[in-house]
Amino acid sequence: MTVHTDYYELLGVQRGADERTIKMAYRKLAMECHPDRHGGCAEQEAKFKQLNEAYDCLKDPQKRAAYDRFGHAAFQQGGAGGFGGGAGPDFSDIFSSIFGEFMDPRGARQNAARGADLRYDLELSLEESFAGKSATIDIETLAPCEPCEGDGARGSSVPITCPTCHGAGKVRAQQGFFVVERGCPSCHGHGVTIADPCPECQGEGRTLKRRTLTIQVPAGVDEGTRIRVAGEGEAGIRGAPSGDLYLFVHLKRHALYGREGTTLIAECPVSFTTAALGGSITVPGIDGEKIEVKIPSGVQSGETLRLRGKGMGVLNGRGRGDMVARILVETPTRLTARQKEILTQFRETETGEECPASKSFFSRIKDVLG
């Protein structure tokens, strides 16, 4: 099972973006998160590597075409991590699906029989995203037919080689100077025919069933993260390879935190006396730990306090992001007579030096009015 974040989302561009837009987005983000600017921060280094991987793919027209068609699966066939690495992707399969069966004489039969990929939208809480989860899902899909064991033939009968295409799954026709290949009309590209088809699946070798799967969701997944589960899509026709299952992660709205990458943001209202005199508040961390946020005296509404290492974990990496407390100074709306008296006495002692921003503002007003 492999987890990836969409390349376009990483660079913050639309799928139809031109080369110039992609290049500008990459340069801006690469400059912002370059490890040298963050003291060797492991999180920024991991993000920097992801940005380079995304840009390396999208700047190349052929790689981008394959990615748009297949996603990360285009670079993972045979266990390779990308173009030019390891055993490498099967280019014939990729180009066959993009440009048609003329590019790959083997592709027509394989593509005609392979099962379709499936999509499943998985909703998680922020806590589940932080800790990871073993998710159990129910899907209704085409699965191998049990009576015929997936070959489509009844009882002891077996599929026979198609007499029209002789098992190739395609036929050729002369059109002027060109020879055109197309799927065999007799076997529909399968290369075999069945004289006595299975009554349960009508010779397809698969039937509609509800399946229950348990998927291990890794810690640190974010909104839009895609998880590929190989071979768990629709069953192929008559024993052909199954498609893949793709899980798209969606995060539920959290009562306290918003999320930006690995950073958690909490809006923390405090009384104006706490803002003036200083103090502390306690908030629950995403890991269940109680976090004390110390409020410095004189803090202003909108200021942020950063607590290192209290945010989300890094997907497929080590370390955690930060938690940011955004302070919102609340003006009291219900005062007792005694409280009003105390505040009136305080106002009578004000000199203007207590609030330098207000003093500067009214000074500028006087200058404008002459």
d(CA 368, CA 370) in angstroms, rounded, equals: 5
Could you give the count of Cα atoms lying within 13 Å of 75 in the half-sphere of its Cβ?
22
201 appears as a binding residue in the annotation: yes
Q: Does domain 257-363 have CATH number 2.60.260.20?
A: yes
Task: Give Cβ neighbours of residue 348 (< 8 Å, ≥ 6 apart).
Answer: none
Backbone angles phi, psi at 305, to 5 degrees: -120, 125
d(CA 79, CA 356) in angstroms, rounded, equals: 63
184 appears as a binding residue in the annotation: yes
41 appears as a binding residue in the annotation: no
What pLDDT sits at residue 190? Answer: 76
What pLDDT sits at residue 276? Answer: 93
Q: Are 76 and 226 in contact (CB under 8 A)?
A: no
pLDDT lower than 70: segments of the chain: 1-3, 40, 76-112, 176-177
Which CATH topology does 1-89 take?
Answer: Helix Hairpins (1.10.287)
What does pTM read for this prediction?
0.60
What pLDDT sits at residue 83? Answer: 43
Q: Are 200 and 246 in contact (CB under 8 A)?
A: no
What pLDDT sits at residue 117? Answer: 92
- For 258, the token pair is 């918003």
CATH 1.10.287.110 residue ranges in the chain? 1-89
What pLDDT sits at residue 1? Answer: 52
355 appears as a binding residue in the annotation: no
What pLDDT sits at residue 106? Answer: 44
- For 113, the token pair is 């029989």
What pLDDT sits at residue 112? Answer: 54
What pLDDT sits at residue 237? Answer: 84
CATH 2.60.260.20 residue ranges in the chain? 257-363
- State the residue for tokens 């989860």: 133
